[in-house]
Amino acid sequence: MHAGTYELVLSAVFTAVMGASEGPNVSLFKRFQGRWAFINQDSFTAAPEEMFSGELRELKGKAAKVYKDAVQHCQSREDYRELLQLSLAFLSGGNYIPPFRAPGAMHNARWMSKAIYSLKVTLFKDQFKLTAREEKGLTAVSMWVALVYAKFWHEAPLADRAPLNDVQLLIDLHRYPDPERAIRDASTKAFRRHLWFFSEHMIGLALFDQRVSDATKQAMVANLARPPSLDAKKRLEGATFDPRAPLEKYVSQRSLHLFDMLTTNGREKAQAFLKKPPSLWPEPQGRERCRRAWGGPGPGLQRQAHQGRGRPPVPSSDCR
């Protein structure tokens, strides 16, 4: 599942800003958990408007728009919804009041809990004693999570959106206003180690993304005739990857294997619509079913233990 890659990025940022934790729990969050019964949930402190200027203001507008729409729709998991709600509360200046949940379990294997705790502690920092270092660090993590991370995490289960989202995430990580560069350096370094969805094997998922232009899809289809690379890497070298390069650059004959992974005789079936202009591509039941199977929870997506560590998803054989 693609969320595993994003958790590794969050882990790198949290450790760079707050330091490595001893054991599975963070003592700061453990203190907050014990204090929760005394917290007045009707009184929280959102990020003040003066914190957002220039690039940060632009990121805030985009992120808030995503969260306002997302919190109105059903989420597959409560912790996904909570992260979106807390991010919106942090950015809303007090205009959005989320239903606060009691702090839950913490473990290094579930790094999203660190994002949720960081936001929650920051929102209630006036009711909880923090050192100057703790407050500065948690505010920095919360700002990054709310402005950049949570909106991409929200779409992590949607594999057809992964290539384009990864491009935009890497661009946002490089552009993120971070005077001390701790967040920018840690996040980009971690993410560049896990560029699974730009391999020749996986880039074809972008053909199912409605946000990708018809011109780009036509260029991708044309490059399906291009000879594959000799090394057949399952992920790209992060040090040389250029997120501003067009998606079609990563397409070759090897990309056709994706269709056989999605469904029986997929390569032959794909020719029926790949020969047509993208605007005329149909949405037959089989193709839509496979797109959904890769995109979200359900019987079409087999989750394996290693997938929580940045490995690509494996489609099951029931996708016909």
Q: What is the mean pLDDT of each run of 10 residues along the chain (320 residues)?
A: 82 91 75 94 93 92 93 78 94 90 72 91 96 95 96 88 90 90 93 80 89 95 90 60 87 90 84 86 51 37 35 36
- CA triple 116-117-121, angle to 5 deg: 125
pLDDT of residue 104: 78
The C-alpha atoms of residue 253 and residue 225 are separated, in whole angstroms, by 5
The C-alpha atoms of residue 195 and residue 200 are separated, in whole angstroms, by 11
pLDDT of residue 306: 34
pLDDT of residue 22: 64
pLDDT of residue 26: 81
User: What is the phi/psi pair of residue 315, to 5°?
Assistant: -75, 145
pLDDT of residue 270: 85
The C-alpha atoms of residue 315 and residue 83 are separated, in whole angstroms, by 27
pLDDT of residue 24: 56
Q: Output the pTM of the full model.
A: 0.82
Rg over alpha carbons for the chain, rounded to the nearest Å, is: 21
Enter the tokens of residue 162: 């992964």
Q: How many CB atoms lie within 10 A of CB 5?
A: 26
**CA-CA distances (angstroms) from residue 98 to 65, 122, 136, 226?**
16, 14, 23, 51
Query: Residues 105-126, buried b or exposed e (16+ Cβ, 10 A)?
Result: ebebeebbbbbbbbbbbbbbbe
The C-alpha atoms of residue 283 and residue 160 are separated, in whole angstroms, by 14
Outline where 176-236 has alpha helix (H).
Answer: 182-191, 214-223
Q: Residues for the chain: how many in total?
A: 320
**Residues 90/46, Cβ–Cβ less than 8 Å:** yes
Spell out the residues 6+ positions from residue 131 whose beta carbon is closer than 8 angstroms to its own: none
pLDDT of residue 316: 33
Q: How many CB atoms lie within 10 A of CB 299?
A: 9
